[in-house]
C-alpha cells in the first residue's frame, strides 16, 4: 500500500543517537510511503533546517539540550505553522504528550513502544488532519471575506463605490492579475466600468456634478460612471452572453443578471477575472464564490438605481428638470463647508423673470410653464463646469451656484447669460420694458468662512437682485457694486 507517489520530507529533531537510528530503521521499514529523513540534534539546528528547506512533517523530541517541554513545541510551531508536528515522549511523560496535543501537536509517540506501522499511521493521520484544518480555515476565511465584501457593498448606495470595492476585494482574495466589470448594453455593445488594479484603466472624461441628469428608463443614472478603457498586457475578450459562468484560457467570466418584477432577467454586465497563466484550472469553490458575489452585486446595483431615482425625484424640480430649492440649499451648504477649508471663492447669481405675472396673464399658465422650461435650458447653456449648479430658487426665480469662481469670473458669466437671453428673443407682449423676455439679476462673491453661514451669501445676492429690479429691471447688479 502506498500513501503517496513522492518521498515525504521528514525533519527529525532528536539529540539521542540511538533514537535517531531506531527511527531511521522504522521509517525505512514501513511500506506506506517513501521517506527522505533529515536530522537536527538541537532546537536551533531544527529551526535552521525549517528556514532553509521544505518539509512535510516534523518529529520533535520534547527534551533537547536547548529546549524542553511545551516551550520547545511552541518555538518550532512559529517556524512551521502549516506543518504537522508529532512529538516524541517517554512512558513517564504521557501528560506532557497530552499537553502537547492541546497546544497544537498532531500526535505524540511513546519512544519505548514505537512500531513501524504506528509511526507511519501517526504521520499519515497528522498530514490528513493538518490538511483538513487548512481546508476548514480556508473555508472560514472565504466566508468571512464574503461577509465583509457584502457588508462593504451594502453600506454604500454609490454604484461606482460598490463596483470598485467588488473588483478590489476579488483580486486581493483570489490573488489574480486582473478583475474587470463590464456593463453590457446589447449582445454586441459593452464597456468597462471598473477594474483592479485601477492603474490599468485610462479614463476618458471626468465625473461631473450633473444634478440635472435623471435616471434612464431602467431607473439608472444616465452617467453613473465615466466611460473607461482598459490598457491590459494581453487582450481581454468580451464574452458573448451566457447563462452561466464560463472559464477559458485563464479567464473566468461570470454574468451579472438584473432581476425585475414581472420581467425576464436582463444581462446587466459581466464580472471577468483573469490570471497570466492560461493553463490555470478554476476550482469549484472559486466559481461558486464569484457566482454568489455576482448575485449580491446585482442586488446592490438595483438598490443603487432605486436610490438614484428617489434622490432625483426628491432633489429635482418636477417642471424644469433642474435642481429644486431643497437641493440648492444642500449643495450650497456642501460647497460652503468645502471652500471654507481651502479658502476659495464662491459666487451666487439670482435671476428673476421680469413681469412674469403679466406673461401668464397674456399667454396662459400652460405657456408660462413652457417659458420656465425654456429659461432653465438657457441658464444650463451658461455653465461650463461640472461643479456649477443651476437650480430653481422659487416661482420665476432661478439661481446659479459657482464654486471656485471669483468676482470677475462671475461678472463674465452673467454678461454671457444676458447675451444668450437677448439672442433668444422669447416674445413677451406683456412686458412694459421690452417686447421679449428679460431678466433682473443680482450676484455676489465671497470667500466662505467657518464663522459665517451660506444664508449670508443668499442675502447679499437677494439684496443685489432687489436693487436691479428697483432700478428698472432688465439689468444686473453685483453686491460689490
Q: Which residues are catalytic?
A: 396
φ/ψ of 288, rounded to 5, equals -60, -40
Q: By C-alpha distance, which of 85, 1, 11 is closest to 50? A: 11
How far apart CA 372 and CA 370 sit, in angstroms, is 5
Round to whole Å and give the CA distance between 469 and 163.
Answer: 50
- Residue 184 makes CB contacts below 8 A (sequence gap 6+) with 190, 241, 267, 268, 269, 270
> What pLDDT sits at residue 283?
84
CB under 8 Å to 179, separation ≥6 — which residues?
Answer: 166, 167, 168, 170, 171, 195, 196, 271, 272, 273, 274
SS3 357: helix
Element (H, E) at 68: strand 67-68
Cβ atoms of residues 479 and 463 within 8 Å: yes
Show the cell assigned to 11. Answer: 525533519
User: Any idea what DSSP says for residue 261?
Assistant: T
d(CA 240, CA 248): 13
How many degrees, rounded to 5, is the angle at CA 364 between CA 360 and CA 370?
Answer: 80
Domains defined for the chain, CATH in brackets: 8-134 (3.40.50.2300), 156-309 (3.30.450.40), 325-478 (3.30.70.270)
- Predicted local confidence at residue 4, as pLDDT: 59
Contact predicate 272/251, CB 8 Å: yes
Q: Rounded to whole angstroms, what are the CA distances from 436 to 199, 355, 424, 427?
A: 53, 11, 9, 4
Who contacts 463 (Cβ-Cβ below 8 Å, separation ≥6)? 442, 479
- pTM of model > 0.75: no
In three-state secondary structure terms, 219 is coil
Give tens-digit pLDDT for 427-471.
999 999 999 999 999 999 999 998 889 999 999 999 999 999 999
Q: What is the pLDDT of residue 235?
A: 37
Question: Using CA atoms, how far apart are residues 100 and 109, in angstroms rounded to an integer?
Answer: 11
Q: Contact 11/49 with Cβ under 8 angstroms?
A: yes
With vertex at residue 417, the alpha carbon angle to CA 414 and CA 420, rounded to the nearest 5 degrees, is 155
Give the Cβ contact number of residue 220 at 10 Å: 20
| pLDDT mean by block of 10 residues, the chain; 481 residues | 72 92 90 90 94 92 90 92 90 82 90 86 90 85 78 74 86 88 81 78 36 40 33 40 67 86 81 81 86 86 80 86 92 94 95 96 95 95 89 95 95 95 94 94 95 93 96 95 80
Residue 230 DSSP code: E
pLDDT at 381: 92
Q: What is the model's pLDDT at position 357?
A: 95
Is the Cβ–Cβ distance between 116 and 26 less than 8 Å? yes
What pLDDT, on a 0 to 100 scale, did the predictor assign at position 319? 93
Instruction: Tell me how far apart the alpha carbons of residues 151 and 154 are, in angstroms, rounded to a whole number.
Output: 5
- Torsion, CA 409, CA 415, CA 416, CA 418, rounded to 10: 150
Q: What is the pLDDT of residue 191?
A: 84
The Cα–Cα gap between 468 and 116 comes to 105
Amino acid at each position: 500500500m502506498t500513501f503517496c507517489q513522492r518521498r515525504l520530507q521528514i525533519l527529525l529533531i532528536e539529540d539521542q543517537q540511538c533514537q535517531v537510528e531506531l527511527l531511521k530503521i522504522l521509517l525505512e521499514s514501513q511500506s506506506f510511503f517513501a521517506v527522505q529523513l533529515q536530522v537536527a540534534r538541537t532546537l536551533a539546528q531544527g529551526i535552521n533546517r525549517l528556514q532553509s528547506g521544505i518539509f512535510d512533517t516534523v518529529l520533535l523530541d520534547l527534551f533537547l539540550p536547548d529546549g524542553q517541554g511545551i516551550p520547545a513545541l511552541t518555538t518550532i510551531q512559529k517556524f512551521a505553522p502549516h506543518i504537522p508536528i508529532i512529538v516524541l515522549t517517554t512512558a513517564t511523560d504521557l501528560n506532557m504528550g497530552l499537553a502537547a496535543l492541546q497546544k497544537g501537536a498532531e500526535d505524540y509517540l511513546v519512544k519505548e513502544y514505537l512500531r513501524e506501522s504506528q509511526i507511519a499511521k501517526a504521520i499519515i493521520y497528522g498530514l490528513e488532519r493538518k490538511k483538513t484544518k487548512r481546508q476548514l480555515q480556508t473555508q472560514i476565511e472565504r466566508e468571512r471575506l464574503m461577509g465583509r465584501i457584502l457588508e462593504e457593498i451594502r453600506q454604500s448606495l454609490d454604484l461606482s463605490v460598490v463596483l470598485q470595492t467588488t473588483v478590489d476585494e476579488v483580486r486581493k482574495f483570489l490573488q489574480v492579475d486582473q478583475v474587470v466589470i463590464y456593463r453590457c448594453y446589447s449582445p454586441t455593445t459593452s464597456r468597462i466600468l471598473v477594474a483592479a488594479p485601477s492603474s490599468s484603466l485610462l479614463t476618458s472624461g471626468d465625473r461631473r456634478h450633473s444634478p440635472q441628469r435623471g435616471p434612464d428608463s431602467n431607473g439608472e443614472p444616465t452617467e453613473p460612471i465615466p466611460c473607461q478603457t482598459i490598457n491590459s498586457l494581453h487582450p481581454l475578450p468580451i464574452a458573448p452572453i451566457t447563462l452561466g459562468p464560463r472559464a477559458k484560457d485563464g479567464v473566468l467570466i461570470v454574468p451579472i443578471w438584473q432581476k425585475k418584477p414581472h420581467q425576464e432577467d436582463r444581462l446587466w454586465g459581466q464580472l471577468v477575472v483573469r490570471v497570466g497563466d492560461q493553463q490555470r484550472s478554476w476550482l469549484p469553490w472559486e466559481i461558486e464564490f464569484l457566482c454568489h458575489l455576482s448575485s449580491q452585486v446585482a442586488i446592490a446595483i438595483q438598490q443603487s438605481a432605486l436610490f438614484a431615482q428617489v434622490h432625483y425625484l426628491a432633489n429635482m424640480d418636477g417642471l424644469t428638470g433642474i435642481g429644486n430649492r431643497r437641493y440648492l440649499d444642500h449643495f450650497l451648504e456642501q460647497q460652503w463647508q468645502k471652500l471654507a477649508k481651502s479658502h476659495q471663492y464662491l459666487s451666487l447669481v439670482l435671476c428673476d423673470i421680469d413681469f412674469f405675472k403679466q406673461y401668464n396673464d397674456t399667454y396662459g399658465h400652460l405657456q408660462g410653464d413652457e417659458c420656465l422650461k425654456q429659461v432653465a435650458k438657457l441658464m444650463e447653456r451658461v455653465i461650463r463646469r461640472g461643479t456649477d449648479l443651476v437650480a430653481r430658487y422659487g416661482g420665476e426665480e432661478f439661481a446659479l451656484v459657482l464654486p471656485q469662481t471669483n468676482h470677475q469670473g462671475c461678472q463674465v458669466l452673467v454678461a454671457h447669460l444676458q447675451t444668450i437671453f437677448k439672442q433668444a428673443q422669447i416674445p413677451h407682449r406683456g412686458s412694459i420694458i421690452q417686447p421679449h423676455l428679460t431678466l433682473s439679476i443680482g450676484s455676489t462673491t465671497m470667500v466662505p468662512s467657518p464663522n459665517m453661514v451660506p444664508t449670508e451669501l443668499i442675502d447679499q445676492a437677494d439684496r443685489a437682485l432687489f436693487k436691479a429690479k428697483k432700478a428698472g429691471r432688465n439689468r444686473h447688479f453685483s453686491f460689490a457694486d
